[in-house]
Amino acid sequence: MSQHEWIAVGLLALAGFLIGGVYATWKTAKMMAMVVGLLALLAAGGAVAWFLAT
């Protein structure tokens, strides 16, 4: 796997970690969960864009 692919895989892993944070915080802090969810979407979108750039 090239370095280019590792970055995209890292972004996908980050998105998964952030989605777990959304799940964990949804009941207690909905606003924070929405912010973390937005960051997860940005990370996932960045990973997809990174894959498509190759």
**33 burial type by CB count under 10 A (0-12 exposed, 13-18 middle, 19+ buried):** middle
CB of 18 closer than 8 Å to CB of 36: yes
pTM for this model (two decimals): 0.89
7 φ/ψ angles, rounded to the nearest 5 degrees = -65, -45
* Measured distance CA(32)–CA(36) in Å, rounded: 6
Give the domain ranges of the chain.
Answer: 3-52
Tens-digit pLDDT string for the chain (54 aa)? 888 889 999 999 999 999 999 999 999 999 999 999 999 999 999 999 999 987
Token pair in block for residue 6: 């590792």
